[in-house]
Amino acid sequence: MTQARSLIDENGKRTDGRTENQLREIKITVGVIKNADGSAFIEFGMNKILAAVYGPREVHPKHMALPDRCVLRCRYHMTPFSTDTRKNPAPSRREVEISKVMREALEPALMLEDYPRTAIDVYVEVLQADGGSRCAGITAASVALADAGINMRDIVAACAAGKINGKIVMDINDTEDKEGDADMPVAYMPHLEQVTLLQLDGILNDEQFSQCLDEAIKGCKMVYEIQRKALMQEYFGDETEMKEEQ
Amino acid sequence: MSLSKRSTIIVEHLRRQQMWDGLSKGKRLDGRNLDELRPIEIETGLIKKANGSARVKLGNSEVVAGVKVETGEPFEGLEDKGALILSAEVLPTASPYVEPGPPDEETVELARVVDRGIRESEMLDLSKLVLVTGEIVYVIFVDCSVINSDGNLFDATSYAAVAALINSKLPVFEIHDGKVADTGEKQETPITTLPVSITAIRIGDSILLDSNAEEEACMNARITMTSNSNSDFAAVQKGSTGTFTLEQLKRIAASAKTKGEEVRNKFKELIESGQ
C-alpha cells in the first residue's frame, strides 16, 4: 500500500497503457477440457485461468447430499508456478476464503433446485496469476457452468475497480493492486441487476465507495458481453457472430 | 471445500413466520429495531500473561482476544514493517454445533475478514515496529477465541481484537551483539485509527444490523463493512449465497458509518480511561 511511484502518467495512462475505464484484454475459450461436463479458459490480462465443471453427479460423501437441491462445491487453487515466488501447493487461508466467496457468488445464478440429491463441482485452477484472479475465475466458472448445460437464471460476470493515485479506475492489475490505494472485486448478474460478490481492501470515502461500485458494475457489464460472445462462438460458430455485428 | 455446518441451526416454520411478520412491521423477535445493535460489553486486561487482552460480549456472542508480541522476520515485500498476524477460532464451547478440529471455511473467512479490517485501516503504524529492516521486526499476534456464539461473530471478534490492541503495551526489544534482548520496559502500541466493523444481513427485503444466530439462520445475504476513524471505508466483505441490489448496498454503507461511530465512541472511552 505504499505509493512508491505514480501509477498514472501525465497523459492519464496507467502502467500497462490503459485508460481509467478500460478493461485488460480478455479472451475466453469454451470447452477446453474434454473430460469435463463444462469448461472454460480465460486470459484476463496476464491471468491464465482454467475452470472445469463436473456434474450434476452423485454426491460423495453421500451424507452431504441434500434431498431438495443440488450441492455446489467450488475449489479455487493456484498452481505452484503461477506466482513470482513458488506457491506452496497446499490450500492457503486465502484460497479457502476465495473458494467460499466464489461459491457464494455463483450460486444465486444457478437453479440448484432442479437437481436434487446431486453435486456440481467447480474447479478453478490459476495457471498464471496477475491480480484480479478471483474475478477472472468467477467469470470463467460462470461460462463453464453454462457450457455444462446447467439451468441458470443469469450469467455471473466479475470485475474489480479500485483507487490508484486517488483516482477510481476499472479492473485493477497486479501492480495496481500491490501499490494502489484500494481494490474492490465485484460479481454481478447483469439481467437481474444483483450483486453476488463484493469485497474491499483499502480506504475509500463515501463518494469514492459509490463511484467505485458503479465503475466495477460497469466493468462487469463489459465482461458479460465477452462471456456471451464466447458462448455464442462455441455453440453457433462464426456466422452468428458476423450476423450479430451487422 | 467443506460446506459449513455451523449455520445449520433450525428455526421452526412458525417461528420463521413470526419473524417475517415482525420484520414487515420493522420489529425483530428480540424486540429490537432493524438497525439497533445489541448491548456491547467490553472488559480489558483480563489475561495477565498476554501483552493485551479483551473480552467482548455482543448480546450473547462472546469473544476473548489476546495479543502476544514476539520478534521474527518481516513478511516478504514488507521488509520495513512489523508483522501483524490475526487468527480466530470458534471453540467447541461456543455452541452444540461446533466440533473440535481444523478450522472450517466459515472460521477461515471470519479470521480473514477481521484481519482485513484491522490491516487495511492501518490501525497500527507497523513501520514503527522494526528492529533491523529486512531482518528482525516485531511480530504482533492477535488471537481471538469465540467462546459463545449467538450470531454476528464478525463484529464481536473484530471488537475484541481492536479492544485487545488498545489494551496492549508492547515490550521494548533491543539488539545486543546481534541478538534480540527484552529490555523489560514497555511502550505504547502505535495506534493510528480505530476500525469498526458493522455487519448487516438481508432477510427478504429487510436489512438488519447485528443479527443473532436465529436471524442468521433465516438470512439471504450478509455484508460486513469496516470504517476507520475518518468514517472512510477500509474493508468490505459480502457473504452468503444471496445477493444485494446497488441501492441496498448504498443504504447499508450509510448506516455502517453512523452505527460505526457509536461503537467507536466505546473504544475512545477505553482509551480515555487508560485501559
- The predicted-structure confidence for B92-148, as pLDDT tens digits, reads as follows 878 877 777 788 899 999 999 999 999 999 999 999 999 999 999 999 999 999 989
- Whether residues B122 and A1 touch (CB distance < 8 A) is answered with yes
Identify whether A184 is part of a domain: yes
For chain B, the first-to-last Cα distance in angstroms comes to 41
Q: How far is A178 from chain B (nearest CA, A)?
A: 10
Which residues in chain B touch residue A67, judged by CB atoms under 8 angstroms apart? none
The per-residue pLDDT of chain B, averaged, comes to 92
User: For residue A242, what pLDDT band results from cuts at 50, 70 and 90?
Assistant: low
- Establish if A169 belongs to a structural domain: yes
Cell of B57: 460480549
String of DSSP letters for chain B: -PPPSTT-----HHHHHHHHHHHHTTB-TTS-BTTPPPPEEEEE---TTSSEEEEEEETTEEEEEEEEEEEEPPPTT-TTS-EEEEEEEE-TTS-TT--SSS--HHHHHHHHHHHHHHHHTT-B-GGGSEEETTTEEEEEEEEEEEEE--S-HHHHHHHHHHHHHHH-EEEEEEEETTEEEEEEEEEE--B----EEEEEEEETTEEEES--HHHHHT-SEEEEEEE-TTS-EEEEEEESS--B-HHHHHHHHHHHHHHHHHHHHHHHHHHHTT-
Q: Which residue's C-alpha cell is 480465460?
A: A42
Query: Which DSSP state fits A22?
Result: -
Cross-chain Cβ contact B243/A1 below 8 Å? no
Give me the mean pLDDT over the A170-197 stretch. Answer: 95
| Interface test with chain A among B120, B198, B238, B247, by most A beta carbons within 10 Å | B238
Q: Is B234 on the interface with A (CB under 8 A)?
A: yes
Residue A15 counted as domain residue? no
Give the closest of A94, A195, A206 to B249, CB-based: A195
Q: Among all residues of chain B, which has the CA nearest to that of A183? A: B235
Q: Which domains does chain B have, with CATH numbers?
A: 29-272 (3.30.230.70)
C-alpha cell at B182: 527484552
CB pair distance less than 8 Å for A74 and B1: yes
Assess if residue A6 is contained within a domain: no
pLDDT range class, residue B2, cuts 50, 70, 90 = very low
The count of domains in chain A is 1
For the segment A7-33, the average pLDDT, to the nearest whole number, is: 93
Q: Which helix (H) or strand (E) holds A97?
A: helix A93-106
Question: Over 90: is that where the pLDDT of A101 sits?
Answer: yes
pLDDT of B151 higher than 60? yes
Residue A14 lies in a domain: no
A17 lies in some domain: no
Give the ipTM.
Answer: 0.73
Q: For residue A203, which residues of chain B lie inside 8 Å, CB to CB?
A: 120-121, 228, 232-234
Among the partner-chain residues B116, B239, B243, the one whose CB lies closest to the CB of A108 is B243
Residues 73-102 of chain B with CB under 8 A from chain A are: 76-77
CB contact under 8 A, A204 and B232: yes
- On chain A, the residues whose CB falls within 8 A of the CB of B120 are 200-203
For A140-162, write each residue's pLDDT tens digit.
999 999 999 999 999 999 999 99
CATH number of the domain where residue A203 is located:
3.30.230.70
Whether A121 is covered by a domain: the verdict is yes
Q: In which domain, by residue range, is A218 found? A: 26-245
pLDDT interval class at B3 (50, 70, 90): very low
The per-residue b/e assignment along B156-184, b for 16 or more CB within 10 angstroms, e otherwise, is bbbbbbbbbbbbbebeebeeeeeeeeeee
The answer as to whether A21 is a domain residue is: no
